[in-house]
């Protein structure tokens, strides 16, 4: 019997801001993984980090909505803003499962984060409850991952996934310096608005 349950890949990130590489990876998941939808789970930023680089949560959420309008298989999730601190991925996934019991979830994760997963809160439970689709990150080749080292994990390695070779930090720095890298963002027409937001954080 074929299951009618929707399959969702969860893609967590601060998306500060969302850019083309994020969207390329989400599109790869839709095209190539057992995935009917990709949910962009927007994370509040670390309060200990430099506030002059942290775009407001509401602004980032609106930016993502603009970027994904017209693509019904991409969905913004702002749940973490409502959850009590501290935010942990395993807790957010548990909350999503309670809210959306009709969906089957998997997790998109970079090879850099997988390398450090033993530092995550309750990581062993996380590995047991959700399949992980691992995409390559510069400096962290998938060939270095030994699935036997994480026997409880449901690991799926995807060397064919697009390389995430663009960092949001680069785009923020370019915007502040006056360089035009709007074509690399998720919403090029909002480049000047992005720049204005960043400049307002500097004052």
Place of tokens 């990709």: 38
33-86: pLDDT as tens digits: 999 999 999 999 765 567 778 999 999 999 999 999 999 999 999 999 999 988
78-123: pLDDT as tens digits: 999 999 988 899 999 999 999 999 999 999 999 999 999 999 999 9
Q: What's the CATH code, domain 6-165?
A: 3.40.50.620
The DSSP code sequence of 109-154 is EEHHHHHTGGGSTTHHHHHHHS-EEEE-BTTB-GGG--GGGSTT--
HSE, CB side, 13 Å, CA atoms: give it for residue 81: 11
Cα pseudo-dihedral 148, 151, 155, 160, rounded to 10 = 0
In the chain the first and final C-alpha atoms are separated, in Å, by: 60
Q: What is the pTM assigned to this prediction?
A: 0.94
Sheet holding 132-135, edge to edge: 74-77, 37-42, 6-13, 103-110, 132-135, 155-157
Q: For residue 10, which phi and psi values (nearest 5 degrees)?
A: -90, 130
Assess whether pLDDT exceeds 80 at residue 7: yes
CB atoms under 10 Å from CB of 135, counted, come to 24
The pLDDT value given to residue 45: 76
Encoded tokens for 150: 């994480």
Q: What pairs with residue 76 in β-bridges?
A: 40
Q: In the chain, what percentage of residues exceed pLDDT 90?
A: 86
- Provide the residue ranges of all domains of the chain, joining segments of one domain with +: 6-165
């Amino acid at each position: 019997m074929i299951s009618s349950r929707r399959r969702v890949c969860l893609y967590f990130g601060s998306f500060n801001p969302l850019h083309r590489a994020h969207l390329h990876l989400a599109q790869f998941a839709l095209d190539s993984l057992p995935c009917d939808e990709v949910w962009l789970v927007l994370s509040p930023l670390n309060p200990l980090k430099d506030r002059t680089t942290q775009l407001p949560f509401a602004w980032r959420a609106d930016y993502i909505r603009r970027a994904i309008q017209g693509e019904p298989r991409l969905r913004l999730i702002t749940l973490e803003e409502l959850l009590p601190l501290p935010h942990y991925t395993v807790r957010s996934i548990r909350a999503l499962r309670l809210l959306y019991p009709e969906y089957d979830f998997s997790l998109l994760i970079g090879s850099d984060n997988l390398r450090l997963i033993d530092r995550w809160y309750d990581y062993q439970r996380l590995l047991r409850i959700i399949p992980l689709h691992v995409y390559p990150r510069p400096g962290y080749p998938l060939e270095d991952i030994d699935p036997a080292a994480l026997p409880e994990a449901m690991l799926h390695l995807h060397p064919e996934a697009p390389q995430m070779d663009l960092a949001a930090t680069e785009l923020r720095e370019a915007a502040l310096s006056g360089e035009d890298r709007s074509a690399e963002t998720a919403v090029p027409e909002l480049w000047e608005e992005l720049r204005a937001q960043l400049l307002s954080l500097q004052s």
